[in-house]
């Protein structure tokens, strides 16, 4: 009983018969033509047809899975809700620019009195999109050209090509992504790339040419990824003044590795989350599928967030990793862990912690790092509701250690070694959130526990990045 106004669950243009009360006794004499109105009570309906209009190259069979649920709706509210969910599913395929939903009563010969037709009007993305950016980084400028083919073969396959031409180095990459029709969370991705990097903290230059294939799938609440990667790595000295230890690592090597990672992410956002937690465990085994490098690498990342009084958030994070060489060959500088800098232990220079030789940092085979943050809105909340919401002040405490482990000794000795000479720092600063991916920080840091050989950056430190401790 009663009548229902068709309210959208989100601002969608939904056209259909006017639903409203039509008092019988009101009659406007000068209205010539009254649209026929029907009163649809909250009664059972049957969804008879679900169309998708506006398809060009997208194959229909891919979409039937996404819209199948709509058929199961039993009443009007359900139809609206399920249509909304189907719309979200269609959008997340990444192949449509716009999706609109139209719910109408059934027409035609087979039409039932309570039948509904649902139509999804979609606009496909262009076949190929290009982008051009210029980037300025550490002593280098580069031009980045990107070409993307969303929905390359009609089933939400995505192909991207990126080319970066810099004053110093050139990189390019080609990748192909295919989700399983009907199960978007399961996907395979193939990549081919050549990436060059310069690492002034180690006086090292690295060129990686590689191919990789990965398989992602959800298992219960986790997201699992299996990957095989083959990389031809070329290491060289960045300057004539590089230390001999780095010079000894110059040359070519081939790494062929299998890796597995598991991610559970219950945070509400990946940048400045307010609640939830993250657990990421990653392991990599190299050497059993060919190649020169032979090792087992484990690393993990844990983050927990909790909102406290007055809109402030307490965040705790812990990172750790271990690199075990298999066989006689020592580990390569390209596989070891690095620590320090505005994105990990603040107050220290970028990756300038731990084992070093003549000022070049060589990385370590074992590390741990922890951080405790208290994020609060800016004092006095300027620009509230708008720009000011992107900023936060934070108070932080970071600690960690990076060292080489002698695998002849037992785990007790390793733990003891990682617990000696702990570096730590504390301070406060301002964080700016950039979209949903990156953040900028400006901190005042006080490093402590500095060991000889570490390079510190006490006082004001600026950091930009995606992954912060």
Partner 1 sequence: AGLHRVFDLFTSTAAEPWPESATLYQPLKEDQILLSDCASSLAVQAYLRMCGLPVQVVCKANAEYMSPSGKIPFIHVGNQVVSELGPIVQFTKAKGNSLSDSLEDVQRAEMKAYMELVNNMLLTAELYIQWCDDATAAEISRPRYSSPYSWPLSKILAYQKQWEVRRKMNAVGWGGKTLEQVYEDVSQCCQALSQRLGTQPYFFNKQPTELDALVFGHLFTILTTRLTSTELAERIKSYSNLLSFCRRIEQTYFEDKSS
Instruction: Note whether 250 binds partner 1 by CB under 8 A.
Output: yes
Residues 341-400 that bind partner 1 (CB under 8 A): 358
Find all residues with CB under 8 Å of 107, minimum gap 6, and list them: 117
| Span near partner 1 by CB under 8 A; candidates 31-39, 193-201, 248-256, 269-277 | 248-256
Shortest distance (Å) from residue 97 CB to partner 1? 43
Instruction: Note whether 20 binds partner 1 by CB under 8 A.
Output: no
If you ran DSSP here, which 8-state letter would residue 156 be given?
Answer: S
Instruction: Note whether 212 binds partner 1 by CB under 8 A.
Output: no
3-state secondary structure 328-354: CCCCCCCCCECCCCCCCCCCECCCCCC
Instruction: Note whether 196 binds partner 1 by CB under 8 A.
Output: no
| Span near partner 1 by CB under 8 A; candidates 6-14, 91-99, 249-257, 373-381 | 249-257
* Residue whose CB is less far from partner 1, 345 or 362: 362
Give the C-alpha separation, 380 to 270, whole Å.
Answer: 26
| Span near partner 1 by CB under 8 A; candidates 82-90, 183-191, 230-238, 341-349 | 230-238
One residue of 18, 41, 185, 248 binding partner 1 per CB under 8 A: 248
Token digits of residue 436: 């949903």
Shortest distance (Å) from residue 350 CB to partner 1? 25
* Residue whose CB is less far from partner 1, 41 or 358: 358
* Residue whose CB is less far from partner 1, 130 or 290: 290
Give the C-alpha separation, 434 to 466, whole Å.
Answer: 10
Query: For the chain, how are helix, strand and coil distributed in percent, rounded to 5?
Result: 10, 50, 40
**Nearest of 375, 420, 128 to residue 272 by alpha carbon:** 375
Shortest distance (Å) from residue 207 CB to partner 1? 12
Residues 282-321 that bind partner 1 (CB under 8 A): 290-292
| Span near partner 1 by CB under 8 A; candidates 20-28, 242-250, 377-385, 435-443 | 242-250
* Residue whose CB is less far from partner 1, 172 or 184: 172
Residues 404-463 that bind partner 1 (CB under 8 A): none
| Span near partner 1 by CB under 8 A; candidates 42-50, 64-72, 241-249, 306-314 | 241-249
Instruction: Note whether 210 binds partner 1 by CB under 8 A.
Output: no
Give the C-alpha separation, 320 to 369, whole Å.
Answer: 6
Give the C-alpha separation, 122 to 383, whole Å.
Answer: 38
Instruction: Note whether 41 binds partner 1 by CB under 8 A.
Output: no
CB of 360 within 8 A of CB of 203? yes
Beta strand 366-376 with 313-325 is antiparallel
**Nearest of 177, 251, 171 to residue 212 by alpha carbon:** 177
CB of 404 within 8 A of CB of 366? yes
Instruction: Note whether 254 binds partner 1 by CB under 8 A.
Output: yes
| Span near partner 1 by CB under 8 A; candidates 8-16, 170-178, 234-242, 378-386 | 234-242
If you ran DSSP here, which 8-state letter would residue 111 be given?
Answer: -
CA distances from 415 to 186, 318, 401 (A): 38, 16, 11
Give the C-alpha separation, 238 to 235, whole Å.
Answer: 9
Residues that bind partner 1 (CB under 8 A): 232, 235-237, 240, 244, 247-248, 250-254, 290-292, 358
């Amino acid at each position: 009983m009663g009548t229902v106004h068709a309210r959208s669950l989100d601002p969608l243009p939904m056209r259909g018969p006017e639903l409203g009360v039509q008092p019988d006794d009101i009659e406007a004499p000068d209205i010539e033509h009254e649209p026929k109105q029907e009163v649809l009570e909250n009664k059972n309906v049957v969804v008879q047809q679900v169309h998708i209009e506006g398809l060009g190259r997208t194959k229909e069979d891919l979409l039937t899975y996404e819209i199948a649920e709509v058929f199961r709706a039993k009443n009007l509210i359900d139809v609206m809700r399920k249509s909304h969910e189907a719309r979200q599913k269609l959008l997340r395929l990444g192949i449509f620019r716009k999706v609109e939903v139209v719910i109408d009563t059934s027409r035609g010969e087979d039409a039932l009195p309570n039948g509904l037709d649902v139509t999804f009007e979609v606009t496909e993305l262009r076949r190929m999109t290009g982008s051009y950016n210029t980037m300025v980084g550490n002593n280098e400028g580069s031009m980045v050209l990107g070409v993307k083919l969303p929905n390359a073969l009609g089933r939400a396959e995505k192909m991207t090509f990126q080319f970066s031409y810099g004053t110093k180095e050139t990189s390019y990459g080609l990748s192909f992504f295919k989700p399983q029709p009907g199960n978007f969370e399961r996907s395979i991705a193939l990549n081919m790339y050549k990436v060059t990097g310069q690492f002034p903290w180690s006086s090292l230059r690295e060129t990686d040419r590689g191919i990789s294939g990965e398989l992602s799938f959800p298992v219960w609440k986790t997201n699992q990824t299996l990957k095989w990667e083959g990389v031809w790595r070329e290491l060289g000295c960045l300057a004539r003044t590089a230390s001999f230890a780095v010079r000894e690592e110059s040359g070519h090597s081939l790494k062929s590795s299998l890796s597995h990672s598991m991610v559970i992410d219950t945070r509400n956002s990946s940048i400045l989350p307010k609640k939830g937690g993250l657990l990421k465990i990653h392991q990599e085994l190299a050497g059993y599928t060919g190649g020169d490098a032979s090792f087992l690498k484990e690393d993990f990342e844990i983050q927990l967030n909790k909102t406290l009084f007055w809109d402030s958030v307490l965040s705790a994070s812990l990172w750790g990793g271990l690199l075990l060489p298999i066989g006689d060959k020592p580990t390569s500088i390209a596989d070891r862990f690095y620590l320090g800098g505005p994105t990990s232990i603040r107050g220290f220079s970028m990756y300038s912690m731990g084992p070093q030789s003549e000022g070049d940092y060589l990385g370590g085979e074992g590390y741990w790092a922890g951080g405790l943050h208290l994020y609060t809105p800016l004092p006095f909340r300027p620009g509230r509701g708008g720009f000011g919401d992107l900023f936060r002040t934070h108070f932080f405490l970071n600690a960690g250690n990076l060292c080489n482990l002698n695998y002849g000794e037992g785990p007790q000795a390793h733990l003891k070694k990682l617990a000696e000479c702990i570096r730590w720092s504390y301070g406060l600063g301002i964080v700016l959130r950039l979209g949903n991916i990156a953040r900028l920080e400006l901190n005042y840091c006080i490093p402590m526990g500095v060991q000889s050989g570490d390079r510190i950056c006490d006082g004001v430190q600026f950091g930009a990045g995606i992954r912060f401790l």
